[in-house]
A = this chain, B = another copy of it.
Protein backbone atom coordinates (compact mmCIF):
# COMPACT_ATOMS: atom_id res chain seq x y z
CA UNK A 1 0.00 0.00 0.00
CA UNK A 2 2.47 2.61 1.16
CA UNK A 3 1.61 6.27 1.02
CA UNK A 4 -1.86 6.62 -0.40
CA UNK A 5 -2.33 9.59 -2.66
CA UNK A 6 -6.05 9.14 -2.77
CA UNK A 7 -8.73 7.01 -1.17
CA UNK A 8 -11.87 5.95 -2.99
CA UNK A 9 -14.54 5.26 -0.38
CA UNK A 10 -17.33 3.53 -2.27
CA UNK A 11 -19.71 3.65 -5.17
CA UNK A 12 -21.93 6.56 -4.21
CA UNK A 13 -24.49 7.21 -6.94
CA UNK A 14 -25.49 6.65 -10.55
CA UNK A 15 -27.07 8.92 -13.14
CA UNK A 16 -29.30 7.16 -15.65
CA UNK A 17 -31.59 8.31 -18.44
CA UNK A 18 -35.37 8.00 -18.44
CA UNK A 19 -37.71 9.18 -21.16
CA UNK A 20 -40.57 10.36 -18.96
CA UNK A 21 -39.80 11.93 -15.60
CA UNK A 22 -43.30 11.70 -14.21
CA UNK A 23 -43.56 8.04 -15.05
CA UNK A 24 -40.11 7.50 -13.57
CA UNK A 25 -41.10 9.32 -10.35
CA UNK A 26 -44.02 6.95 -9.94
CA UNK A 27 -41.79 3.93 -10.37
CA UNK A 28 -38.88 5.06 -8.24
CA UNK A 29 -40.74 6.99 -5.50
CA UNK A 30 -44.18 5.36 -5.24
CA UNK A 31 -42.85 1.99 -6.34
CA UNK A 32 -39.34 1.70 -4.93
CA UNK A 33 -39.83 4.10 -2.04
CA UNK A 34 -36.85 6.33 -2.83
CA UNK A 35 -37.08 9.84 -1.42
CA UNK A 36 -37.08 12.85 -3.73
CA UNK A 37 -34.56 15.39 -2.46
CA UNK A 38 -34.92 17.80 -5.34
CA UNK A 39 -36.08 17.96 -8.93
CA UNK A 40 -36.17 20.25 -11.91
CA UNK A 41 -37.50 20.02 -15.47
CA UNK A 42 -34.93 17.46 -16.47
CA UNK A 43 -33.82 15.72 -13.31
CA UNK A 44 -34.97 13.83 -10.27
CA UNK A 45 -32.48 13.59 -7.39
CA UNK A 46 -33.31 10.62 -5.20
CA UNK A 47 -31.92 9.19 -2.00
CA UNK A 48 -32.43 6.00 -0.01
CA UNK A 49 -33.30 5.43 3.64
CA UNK A 50 -29.75 5.47 4.99
CA UNK A 51 -28.51 8.36 2.90
CA UNK A 52 -27.46 11.51 4.71
CA UNK A 53 -26.60 13.23 1.42
CA UNK A 54 -28.42 14.75 -1.55
CA UNK A 55 -28.69 11.74 -3.85
CA UNK A 56 -27.71 8.17 -4.62
CA UNK A 57 -29.57 8.12 -7.93
CA UNK A 58 -30.15 10.81 -10.54
CA UNK A 59 -32.80 10.29 -13.19
CA UNK A 60 -32.25 12.55 -16.20
CA UNK A 61 -34.65 13.07 -19.05
CA UNK A 62 -33.42 11.76 -22.37
CA UNK A 63 -34.23 9.76 -25.46
CA UNK A 64 -33.75 6.23 -24.17
CA UNK A 65 -32.54 4.23 -21.21
CA UNK A 66 -28.77 4.66 -20.74
CA UNK A 67 -26.05 5.22 -18.20
CA UNK A 68 -24.82 8.79 -17.93
CA UNK A 69 -22.28 7.99 -15.21
CA UNK A 70 -21.57 6.11 -12.05
CA UNK A 71 -19.83 8.03 -9.26
CA UNK A 72 -17.37 7.14 -6.53
CA UNK A 73 -16.87 9.26 -3.45
CA UNK A 74 -13.34 10.00 -2.26
CA UNK A 75 -12.10 10.69 1.26
CA UNK A 76 -10.68 14.20 0.76
CA UNK A 77 -11.12 17.01 -1.71
CA UNK A 78 -7.43 16.87 -2.71
CA UNK A 79 -7.87 13.23 -3.73
CA UNK A 80 -9.57 14.61 -6.82
CA UNK A 81 -6.40 16.47 -7.81
CA UNK A 82 -4.35 13.34 -7.28
CA UNK A 83 -6.76 11.38 -9.46
CA UNK A 84 -6.59 14.12 -12.09
CA UNK A 85 -2.80 13.81 -12.16
CA UNK A 86 -3.05 10.05 -12.45
CA UNK A 87 -5.53 10.20 -15.33
CA UNK A 88 -3.38 12.78 -17.12
CA UNK A 89 -0.43 10.47 -16.76
CA UNK A 90 -2.44 7.52 -18.05
CA UNK A 91 -3.97 9.46 -20.91
CA UNK A 92 -7.53 8.82 -19.76
CA UNK A 93 -10.33 10.87 -21.36
CA UNK A 94 -11.55 13.21 -18.62
CA UNK A 95 -13.23 16.49 -17.74
CA UNK A 96 -14.10 18.50 -14.66
CA UNK A 97 -17.67 19.04 -13.62
CA UNK A 98 -18.25 22.36 -11.87
CA UNK A 99 -19.76 22.52 -8.38
CA UNK A 100 -23.54 22.21 -8.49
CA UNK A 101 -23.56 21.32 -12.19
CA UNK A 102 -24.80 18.04 -10.76
CA UNK A 103 -27.10 19.48 -8.11
CA UNK A 104 -25.98 19.28 -4.52
CA UNK A 105 -22.51 18.09 -5.48
CA UNK A 106 -19.11 19.82 -5.27
CA UNK A 107 -16.57 19.76 -8.09
CA UNK A 108 -16.21 16.37 -9.75
CA UNK A 109 -13.83 14.66 -12.10
CA UNK A 110 -15.43 12.58 -14.81
CA UNK A 111 -13.65 10.03 -16.99
CA UNK A 112 -14.35 7.42 -19.61
CA UNK A 113 -12.63 4.40 -18.14
CA UNK A 114 -10.58 2.12 -20.44
CA UNK A 115 -13.64 -0.10 -20.82
CA UNK A 116 -15.76 2.83 -21.97
CA UNK A 117 -17.77 3.26 -18.76
CA UNK A 118 -18.44 6.89 -17.74
CA UNK A 119 -17.17 7.26 -14.18
CA UNK A 120 -17.18 10.23 -11.83
CA UNK A 121 -15.17 11.02 -8.69
CA UNK A 122 -16.28 13.63 -6.17
CA UNK A 123 -15.85 14.52 -2.53
CA UNK A 124 -18.47 17.03 -1.44
CA UNK A 125 -22.22 16.70 -1.39
CA UNK A 126 -24.99 18.56 0.42
CA UNK A 127 -26.49 16.86 3.43
CA UNK A 128 -30.08 15.68 3.40
CA UNK A 129 -32.45 14.28 6.01
CA UNK A 130 -31.61 10.73 6.95
CA UNK A 131 -34.72 8.53 7.22
CA UNK A 132 -33.17 5.50 8.92
CA UNK A 133 -35.03 5.62 12.23
CA UNK A 134 -38.10 7.38 10.81
CA UNK A 135 -39.76 4.05 10.18
CA UNK A 136 -43.22 5.58 10.07
CA UNK A 137 -42.17 7.70 7.06
CA UNK A 138 -40.76 4.74 5.18
CA UNK A 139 -42.95 2.93 2.69
CA UNK A 140 -43.33 -0.74 1.98
CA UNK A 141 -40.11 -0.86 -0.06
CA UNK A 142 -37.15 -0.10 2.16
CA UNK A 143 -34.03 0.48 0.05
CA UNK A 144 -31.20 1.36 2.40
CA UNK A 145 -28.41 2.57 0.09
CA UNK A 146 -26.74 2.05 -3.26
CA UNK A 147 -24.45 -0.98 -3.27
CA UNK A 148 -22.80 -1.59 -6.63
CA UNK A 149 -22.70 -1.06 -10.39
CA UNK A 150 -22.59 -3.94 -12.86
CA UNK A 151 -20.90 -3.16 -16.19
CA UNK A 152 -20.49 -5.19 -19.38
CA UNK A 153 -17.17 -4.62 -21.08
CA UNK A 154 -15.08 -6.24 -23.83
CA UNK A 155 -11.57 -5.90 -22.39
CA UNK A 156 -11.63 -7.44 -18.94
CA UNK A 157 -7.90 -8.24 -18.84
CA UNK A 158 -7.02 -4.64 -19.33
CA UNK A 159 -9.77 -3.24 -17.14
CA UNK A 160 -9.25 -5.64 -14.26
CA UNK A 161 -5.58 -4.65 -14.08
CA UNK A 162 -6.42 -0.99 -14.41
CA UNK A 163 -8.85 -0.94 -11.49
CA UNK A 164 -6.57 -3.17 -9.42
CA UNK A 165 -3.31 -1.35 -10.01
CA UNK A 166 -4.24 2.28 -10.44
CA UNK A 167 -7.40 2.67 -8.37
CA UNK A 168 -6.57 0.03 -5.77
CA UNK A 169 -9.77 -1.92 -6.10
CA UNK A 170 -9.67 -5.35 -4.47
CA UNK A 171 -11.33 -8.48 -5.79
CA UNK A 172 -13.74 -10.56 -3.72
CA UNK A 173 -14.79 -13.12 -6.31
CA UNK A 174 -14.16 -13.80 -9.99
CA UNK A 175 -15.23 -16.11 -12.78
CA UNK A 176 -12.98 -17.96 -15.17
CA UNK A 177 -13.69 -19.62 -18.46
CA UNK A 178 -12.34 -22.75 -20.13
CA UNK A 179 -9.43 -24.96 -19.25
CA UNK A 180 -7.02 -22.05 -19.29
CA UNK A 181 -9.24 -20.42 -16.67
CA UNK A 182 -9.10 -17.07 -18.35
CA UNK A 183 -10.80 -14.37 -16.31
CA UNK A 184 -14.34 -13.73 -17.49
CA UNK A 185 -15.80 -11.56 -14.72
CA UNK A 186 -14.66 -9.88 -11.50
CA UNK A 187 -16.40 -8.53 -8.40
CA UNK A 188 -14.29 -5.60 -7.19
CA UNK A 189 -14.63 -3.40 -4.15
CA UNK A 190 -13.40 -0.40 -2.25
CA UNK A 191 -15.80 -0.63 0.70
CA UNK A 192 -15.35 -4.01 2.41
CA UNK A 193 -18.33 -5.72 0.82
CA UNK A 194 -18.41 -8.07 -2.14
CA UNK A 195 -18.43 -5.23 -4.64
CA UNK A 196 -18.73 -1.66 -5.67
CA UNK A 197 -18.12 -2.68 -9.28
CA UNK A 198 -18.76 -5.85 -11.23
CA UNK A 199 -17.04 -6.25 -14.58
CA UNK A 200 -18.51 -8.85 -16.94
CA UNK A 201 -17.16 -9.93 -20.34
CA UNK A 202 -19.96 -9.25 -22.76
CA UNK A 203 -20.80 -7.04 -25.70
CA UNK A 204 -20.00 -3.57 -24.42
CA UNK A 205 -19.59 -1.08 -23.10
CA UNK A 206 -23.04 -1.50 -21.63
CA UNK A 207 -24.58 -1.04 -18.21
CA UNK A 208 -26.30 -4.07 -16.76
CA UNK A 209 -27.71 -2.83 -13.48
CA UNK A 210 -27.47 -0.69 -10.38
CA UNK A 211 -27.57 -2.71 -7.18
CA UNK A 212 -29.27 -1.37 -4.05
CA UNK A 213 -28.90 -2.73 -0.56
CA UNK A 214 -31.81 -4.00 1.51
CA UNK A 215 -31.65 -5.32 5.05
CA UNK A 216 -32.80 -8.85 4.45
CA UNK A 217 -34.51 -11.27 2.10
CA UNK A 218 -37.95 -10.55 3.54
CA UNK A 219 -37.55 -6.88 2.64
CA UNK A 220 -36.92 -7.93 -0.97
CA UNK A 221 -40.03 -10.11 -1.02
CA UNK A 222 -42.07 -7.26 0.47
CA UNK A 223 -40.81 -5.05 -2.34
CA UNK A 224 -42.09 -7.55 -4.91
CA UNK A 225 -45.54 -7.59 -3.30
CA UNK A 226 -45.75 -3.82 -3.24
CA UNK A 227 -44.57 -3.41 -6.83
CA UNK A 228 -46.83 -6.18 -8.11
CA UNK A 229 -49.97 -4.84 -6.49
CA UNK A 230 -49.14 -1.34 -7.73
CA UNK A 231 -49.19 -2.73 -11.27
CA UNK A 232 -45.45 -3.26 -11.81
CA UNK A 233 -45.58 -7.07 -11.88
CA UNK A 234 -44.12 -7.20 -15.39
CA UNK A 235 -41.21 -5.06 -14.17
CA UNK A 236 -40.04 -7.93 -11.98
CA UNK A 237 -37.69 -9.41 -14.56
CA UNK A 238 -35.98 -12.14 -12.61
CA UNK A 239 -37.53 -13.91 -9.62
CA UNK A 240 -35.91 -13.66 -6.21
CA UNK A 241 -33.06 -16.07 -5.68
CA UNK A 242 -29.56 -16.48 -4.35
CA UNK A 243 -26.45 -15.84 -6.39
CA UNK A 244 -23.57 -18.29 -6.10
CA UNK A 245 -21.10 -15.48 -6.73
CA UNK A 246 -21.45 -13.05 -3.78
CA UNK A 247 -23.83 -15.35 -1.90
CA UNK A 248 -26.35 -12.52 -2.05
CA UNK A 249 -30.12 -12.79 -2.21
CA UNK A 250 -31.57 -10.77 -5.10
CA UNK A 251 -34.43 -9.72 -7.27
CA UNK A 252 -34.03 -7.89 -10.61
CA UNK A 253 -36.39 -5.16 -11.79
CA UNK A 254 -36.66 -3.10 -14.96
CA UNK A 255 -37.87 0.48 -14.77
CA UNK A 256 -40.47 1.60 -17.36
CA UNK A 257 -37.62 2.51 -19.76
CA UNK A 258 -35.71 -0.73 -19.27
CA UNK A 259 -33.00 0.43 -16.88
CA UNK A 260 -32.28 -2.52 -14.59
CA UNK A 261 -32.27 -2.41 -10.78
CA UNK A 262 -31.10 -5.14 -8.44
CA UNK A 263 -32.41 -5.32 -4.89
CA UNK A 264 -29.62 -7.07 -3.05
CA UNK A 265 -28.80 -8.34 0.43
CA UNK A 266 -26.57 -10.74 2.26
CA UNK A 267 -22.97 -10.43 1.25
CA UNK A 268 -20.03 -10.53 3.67
CA UNK A 269 -16.92 -8.74 4.99
CA UNK A 270 -14.08 -8.73 2.47
CA UNK A 271 -11.26 -6.64 3.87
CA UNK A 272 -9.15 -9.16 5.71
CA UNK A 273 -5.60 -8.78 4.36
CA UNK A 274 -5.24 -12.44 3.44
CA UNK A 275 -8.56 -12.64 1.61
CA UNK A 276 -8.33 -15.11 -1.27
CA UNK A 277 -10.78 -14.24 -4.00
CA UNK A 278 -13.40 -16.92 -4.57
CA UNK A 279 -13.03 -18.49 -8.01
CA UNK A 280 -16.04 -19.69 -10.02
CA UNK A 281 -16.02 -21.53 -13.30
CA UNK A 282 -18.32 -20.09 -15.92
CA UNK A 283 -19.99 -23.45 -16.41
CA UNK A 284 -20.73 -24.05 -12.72
CA UNK A 285 -24.53 -24.27 -12.60
CA UNK A 286 -24.58 -22.72 -9.12
CA UNK A 287 -22.51 -19.69 -10.13
CA UNK A 288 -25.23 -17.28 -11.25
CA UNK A 289 -28.03 -18.95 -9.31
CA UNK A 290 -27.05 -20.96 -6.30
CA UNK A 291 -30.49 -22.58 -6.33
CA UNK A 292 -30.22 -23.72 -9.91
CA UNK A 293 -33.15 -21.94 -11.63
CA UNK A 294 -32.19 -20.24 -14.90
CA UNK A 295 -32.50 -16.49 -15.41
CA UNK A 296 -34.74 -15.30 -18.25
CA UNK A 297 -33.09 -14.52 -21.59
CA UNK A 298 -33.65 -10.79 -21.24
CA UNK A 299 -31.50 -10.76 -18.11
CA UNK A 300 -28.68 -12.47 -19.96
CA UNK A 301 -28.91 -10.53 -23.22
CA UNK A 302 -30.18 -7.03 -22.47
CA UNK A 303 -28.36 -4.03 -21.04
CA UNK A 304 -28.40 -0.30 -21.72
CA UNK A 305 -25.76 1.72 -23.59
CA UNK A 306 -23.47 4.21 -21.89
CA UNK A 307 -22.75 7.83 -22.76
CA UNK A 308 -19.65 9.53 -24.04
CA UNK A 309 -18.66 11.95 -21.26
CA UNK A 310 -17.86 14.70 -23.79
CA UNK A 311 -20.74 14.47 -26.23
CA UNK A 312 -23.47 12.60 -24.39
CA UNK A 313 -23.72 10.34 -27.41
CA UNK A 314 -24.27 6.66 -26.79
CA UNK A 315 -21.11 4.64 -27.31
CA UNK A 316 -21.20 1.93 -29.97
CA UNK A 317 -21.41 -1.60 -28.60
CA UNK A 318 -18.66 -3.99 -29.60
CA UNK A 319 -18.38 -7.74 -29.37
CA UNK A 320 -15.54 -9.21 -27.41
CA UNK A 321 -13.23 -11.45 -29.39
CA UNK A 322 -12.52 -14.15 -26.90
CA UNK A 323 -15.90 -15.09 -25.48
CA UNK A 324 -19.28 -16.09 -26.60
CA UNK A 325 -22.27 -14.82 -24.67
CA UNK A 326 -22.92 -16.04 -21.17
Interface positions of A (Cβ within 8 A of B)? 1, 3-4, 7, 9-10, 30, 50, 52-53, 73-76, 123-125, 127, 132-140, 144-145, 191-192, 215-218, 221-222, 224-230, 233-242, 244, 247, 249, 266, 268-269, 271-276, 285-286, 289-294, 296
Please name 14 pairs of A and B residues whose Cβ atoms are closer than 8 Å in the assembled complex, sorted by A: A10-B269, A10-B272, A50-B269, A53-B274, A73-B273, A127-B274, A132-B247, A133-B244, A135-B228, A218-B218, A221-B240, A221-B242, A224-B241, A234-B285
| B74, B124, B266, B292: the one within 8 Å of A228 (CB) | B292
With the chains together, A4 CA to B229 CA distance in Å?
41
Contacts of A226 in B (CB 8 A): 135-136
| B216, B233, B272, B293: the one within 8 Å of A73 (CB) | B272
With the chains together, A188 CA to B247 CA distance in Å?
28
| B73, B247, B291: the one within 8 Å of A224 (CB) | B291
With the chains together, A104 CA to B273 CA distance in Å?
16
Chain B CB count within 10 A is highest, among A4, A218, A228, for: A228
With the chains together, A123 CA to B293 CA distance in Å?
41
Q: Which residue of B lies closest to A136 (CB)?
A: B230
With the chains together, A3 CA to B140 CA distance in Å?
45
With the chains together, A229 CA to B134 CA distance in Å?
6
Could you list 14 further interchain pairs (A-B, Cβ under 8 angstroms) beyond the known A127-B276, A234-B292? A1-B7, A3-B4, A73-B273, A76-B273, A125-B274, A135-B228, A136-B229, A136-B230, A221-B249, A228-B242, A228-B286, A233-B286, A234-B285, A294-B296
Contacts of A76 in B (CB 8 A): 1, 273
With the chains together, A134 CA to B226 CA distance in Å?
8
Contact B215 A218 (CB under 8 A): no
With the chains together, A233 CA to B242 CA distance in Å?
11
Q: Which residue of B lies closest to A75 (CB)?
A: B273
Contact B273 A1 (CB under 8 A): no
| B9, B134, B139: the one within 8 Å of A273 (CB) | B9
Contacts of A268 in B (CB 8 A): 50, 132, 144-145
With the chains together, A139 CA to B236 CA distance in Å?
22
Pairs A-B, 3 closest by C-beta atoms: A233-B292, A216-B216, A239-B239
Contact A52 B276 (CB under 8 A): yes
Contacts of A52 in B (CB 8 A): 272, 274-276
Contacts of A9 in B (CB 8 A): 271-273
Min Cβ gap A294→B in Å is: 8
With the chains together, A271 CA to B135 CA distance in Å?
23
